[in-house]
Amino acid sequence: MEYFLQNLINALQWGSFYAVISIGYSMVYSILMLFNFAHGDIFMVGTYIGCGIATLFLSLFSAFLPGWLIFILTIVVTMFLTSFVGVFVEEVGYRPLRQAPRASAAITGLMIGIIFETGNLIILGAQRFKFPALIKSVAYHKGGLYFTNVKIMIVGISILLMLALHVFIKKTKWGMAMRAMSFDSLAVPLMGVSINVIAPLTFAIGAGLASVAGILYGQAYPILDPYMGILLGWKAFVAAILGGRGSIMGAAMAGYMLGFIEIFVAMIFPSTFRDLIAYSIILLILTFRPRGFFGMEHSIRLRL
Amino acid sequence: MQLKVENLEVSYDKIKALHGISFSIDQGEIVTIIGANGAGKSTTLRALSRMVPSGHDSKIEFMGNDVLKYSADKVVSKLGISHVPEGRMIFGNLSVNENLSLATFARKDKKQIEKDRKWVFDLFPRLFERKDQAAGTLSGGEQQMLAVGRAYMSGRKMMLLDEPSMGLAPILMLDMFDALKEINKLGTTILLVEQNARLALKFAERGYVLENGHLVLQGDADDLLNNPDVKKAYLGA
């Protein structure tokens, strides 16, 4: 039982990364019917930006500001900066291809990803960066369970962000425009709403969320490398598919589910089998429910 | 002259839908374009609201502005030309009220927006009763009311209407045209395209007849109603 609960805590943390990143895929898909395959690498860039900001702020402010405040400042500034990466990807990469076949956009996304990875190598070199610890890790032992304040914080901030996004989409006019676009993007300009405002905004939010996932990831796994976004990005993409194309709620839930499946498979089987078994399970789910948990019936016609 | 269209050409891929039509509309008029299915009526409206690109030699001037320099959203928000599209294109996942609010996305005049909303609800009390309902659950007639109300909220100088009578029961059709008259009384110019030629010509002051992408006839609505060719081709008499 304790062993189970212990793994549950780990699964929650692991699922939080997937959930927050996969929302970025789903949001973009819901408004533009395309998957932004550069998203994993936007996560990577966001993590590096976060690492740089955290290092800078620690050296500047640690003498007179408390750690939690530096942590929050790092999150806010990193989100802000990384959102421009998202806007850049939309405007330079995808906007010229709005009318082009979706496959062109998919390839463009992959190329942008490669440019980010190799660009990172060229600018920063092959040295591995270490994400500074922004929160002093405190370990708790309660009834045989072992967990740290960092783990709680990762799960807490992720859920808080997703709730904030939910409120944004339900209550603001920009969120309303996004929902309208997910229903019928052709009619949206007739309402006086520019798609060239809503699309970059959506990319900006997705990128901002990914960068927070990056900061949180850096607190749990501090060694960064330019290819860190690939595997995490693809797995978050799987979560977005599993949740149902375009469904933000579905992406979040599937992100956690993916975390659970991975952790619990590793609990039962040797950990080298983890991905093989975990993704076979997901393949099986998608065989019987190809539109995912919350996908619309009509989105079953696959458009990459 | 509020709207002046010269040599408007639209092609879908290589097929020409409009072969250089020209017409003009004065401020406050009610004008209709009638024609058979596929004559190019919807295409004309879509070209005006910049949903489809126009040919290089086409000219559309609205109150002194070159419409072809504006994007679809700016035609609504800057020029004040609203469009009730074919098939209504209601956002079914948004509530009735949200549909109306979305139409004011680019507007900053908060007080006037609320007045307009109240006016729309007074004009279509059914919408008020259902304002918090998802728009997808409305009946066809109610969706048409919402589409018109939404257009009223988005731009006020000219309203383009694509078959507002389609799918409505006869009694609702008349109600709808009464509502459009009310909107027109407040100064909104109306350009209506209709397959139901009799209804459209009774409602409008002037009319054009569109055939295979060419404007073949124009005149006062009453004259067109009595024109033997129009009678034979479009009025079934």
Q: Is B107 touching A (CB cutoff 8 A)?
A: yes
pLDDT tens sequence across A45-94: 999 999 999 999 999 998 899 989 999 999 999 999 999 999 999 999 99
**Residue B76 forms contact with A (CB below 8 Å):** yes
Return the minimum-mean-pLDDT range out of A123-127, A171-175, B56-60, B142-146: A123-127
- Tally C-beta pairs within 8 A across A and B: 72
Q: What is the pLDDT of residue B160?
A: 97
- Both tokens of A183, joined, read 């229903």
Of the residues B46, B70, B91, the best mutation for testing chain A's interface (the one with the most A CB atoms within 10 Å of its CB) is B91
How many other β-carbons are positioned within 10 Å of the β-carbon of residue A221? Answer: 11
Q: Which two tokens stand for residue A102?
A: 């979706």
Instruction: Tell me the chain B residues in contact with residue A187 when contact means C-beta distances shorter than 8 Å.
Output: 85, 89, 91
Distance CA A88, CA A215 (A): 21
Q: What is the average pLDDT value for chain B, to the nearest integer?
A: 94
What CATH number is given to the structural domain containing B21?
Answer: 3.40.50.300
- Is residue B30 domain-resident? yes
Domain ranges across chain A: 17-237
What is the percentage of chain B residues whose pLDDT exceeds 90? Answer: 86
pLDDT value at residue B237: 60
Q: Indicate yes or no: CB of B76 within 8 angstroms of CB of A183.
A: no
Distance of residue B232 Cα from the nearest chain A Cα, in angstroms: 36
What's the confidence (pLDDT) of residue A304? 42
Q: Using alpha carbons, select from B73, B90, B224 the residue that is nearest to residue B154.
A: B73
Element (H, E) at A199: helix A195-220
Q: Which two tokens stand for residue A254?
A: 């599937």
Global pTM reads 0.92
Q: Is the ipTM of this complex over 0.90?
A: yes
- What is the DSSP secondary structure assignment for residue A92, as one 8-state letter? I
Is residue B174 one of the residues assigned to a domain?
yes
Residues B66-86 have pLDDT tens digits of 999 999 999 999 999 999 999
Classify residue B72: in a domain, yes or no: yes
Cβ atoms of A204 and A36 closer than 8 Å: no
- Compute the average pLDDT of residues B52-61: 95
Domain-embedded: residue B144: no
Domain total in chain B: 1
Q: pLDDT-derived band of residue B60, with 50, 70 and 90 as boundaries?
A: very high
The reported pLDDT for the residue numbered A301 is: 44
Closest CA to A176 of A206, A201, A159, A208: A201
Distance from CA of A29 to the nearest CA of B (A): 17
Residues B152-206: tens digit of each pLDDT: 999 889 999 999 988 888 888 889 999 999 999 999 999 999 988 999 999 999 9
The verdict on residue B25 lying in a domain is yes
Does the CB of A189 have a partner CB in chain B at under 8 Å? yes
Q: Which residues of chain A, if any, have pLDDT below 70?
A: 296-304
**What integer best gives the mean pLDDT of chain A?**
92
What pLDDT shows up at residue A291?
85
Residues of B in contact with A186 (CB under 8 A): 51, 89
Q: Which domain holds residue B167?
A: 3-92+157-234
